[in-house]
Amino acid sequence: MTDFFGVPLPALFGQLVLGLVNGSFYAVLSLGLAVIFGMLNIINFAHGALYMMGALFTWMFMEYLGIGYWWSLVLAPLSVGIIGIAIERLLLQWLYKLDHLYGLLLTFGLALILEGFFRHLYGVAGQPYSIPDELSGAINLGFMFLPKYRAWIIFASLAVCLVTWYVIEKTRLGAYLRAATENPALTQAFGINVPLMVMLTYGFGVGLAGLAGVLAAPATQVGPLMGSNLIITVFAVVVIGGMGSILGSILTGLGLGLIEGLTKVFYPEASATVVFIIMAIVLMFRPAGLFGREK
């Protein structure tokens, strides 16, 4: 077995794969944040809580209704999306004319409500969710042991990211969306129902969070607090990438996951903070973010 700077290769690749798994979550979540921000000018603090709900719904479907993983993969993001649409119609739409900070504050309140509610129901301890039979077990790659489920997370997240990117950048629907982002009034004048698009965008954005939640359910414990710490890291990812571009947020998410994985190999003490340190450095030299433009 060979070494790489004194680190055995299996350990290095293992951590890199795990980094990529985390990076996939960062990518899907920051993508959702970017899509919502582009359209609503709101930073969705409830994103972590909605991610948690995606996972919790998956668990509840199984526990109470006997619905398995594959159906949950569709149903849970859909449910989260519908809840998102309700949130947008009932609460967020009253804030569009105010300072953007109020959107952050409102969604922060929402995050507290959702987190507290599920904590009340299930306690802080996680609920276990088993890996679907088709994906259990591992592939021995010779240089490392790759659990099939982790590979699936990476594959599924990348697919979702690419489809989203394609829809927004390459289709007619995406063109309307981008137009509405640039100039809502003008787009409305062209006969496009902008409020409807805003609503659906929010629903789609949080649906992505819900999907990430489903993917996470078998890999970690499903618990009410799983989203809140993750979302702060994702905020840092968003600041690093800048929210200007869809592809930018995907790449930043994956890249930072990998860097985190490397840190776990070479200097594990910093693995929790490395993303924030990078954010500080980016702020010093490129305040608008790697892919952002200063407005």
- Contact residues toward other proteins (CB under 8 A) are 8, 10-11, 14-15, 18, 43, 91, 94-95, 99-106, 108-117, 119-120, 123-126, 128, 131, 136, 138, 140, 145, 147, 149-150, 219-221, 223, 226, 228, 232-233, 235-236, 238-239, 261, 264, 268-269, 271-273, 275-277, 279-280, 283-284, 287
In this structure, how many other beta carbons lie within 10 angstroms of the beta carbon of residue 279? 19
For residue 167, the minimal CB distance to other proteins (Å) is 25
Nearer to other proteins, 19 or 210 (CB): 19
Give the residue from 278, 295, 257, 190 showing the smallest Cα distance to 18. 257
Nearer to other proteins, 11 or 167 (CB): 11
**Rg of the Cα atoms in the chain:** 19
- Assign 134 to helix, strand or coil: helix
Nearer to other proteins, 247 or 270 (CB): 270
Nearer to other proteins, 196 or 284 (CB): 284
For residue 170, the minimal CB distance to other proteins (Å) is 28
Nearer to other proteins, 117 or 166 (CB): 117
Measured CA to CA, the distance from residue 280 to residue 239 in angstroms comes to: 10
Nearer to other proteins, 172 or 294 (CB): 294
Within 8 A by CB and 6+ apart from 31, the residues are 161, 164, 208, 246, 249, 250, 253
State both tokens at 179.
Answer: 């137009």
For residue 174, the minimal CB distance to other proteins (Å) is 24
- Assign 144 to helix, strand or coil: coil
For residue 81, the minimal CB distance to other proteins (Å) is 20
Q: In this structure, are residues 202 and 95 in contact, taking their beta carbons and an 8 Å threshold?
A: no
Q: In this structure, are residues 35 and 280 in contact, taking their beta carbons and an 8 Å threshold?
A: no
For residue 273, the minimal CB distance to other proteins (Å) is 5
Nearer to other proteins, 9 or 163 (CB): 9
Where on the phi/psi map is residue 17: left (φ > 0), alpha (ψ -120 to 50), or beta?
alpha
Query: What are the Cα distances from residue 5, in Å, to 9, 100, 259?
Result: 10, 47, 16
For residue 88, the minimal CB distance to other proteins (Å) is 13
CA atoms within 13 A on the CB side of 107: 27
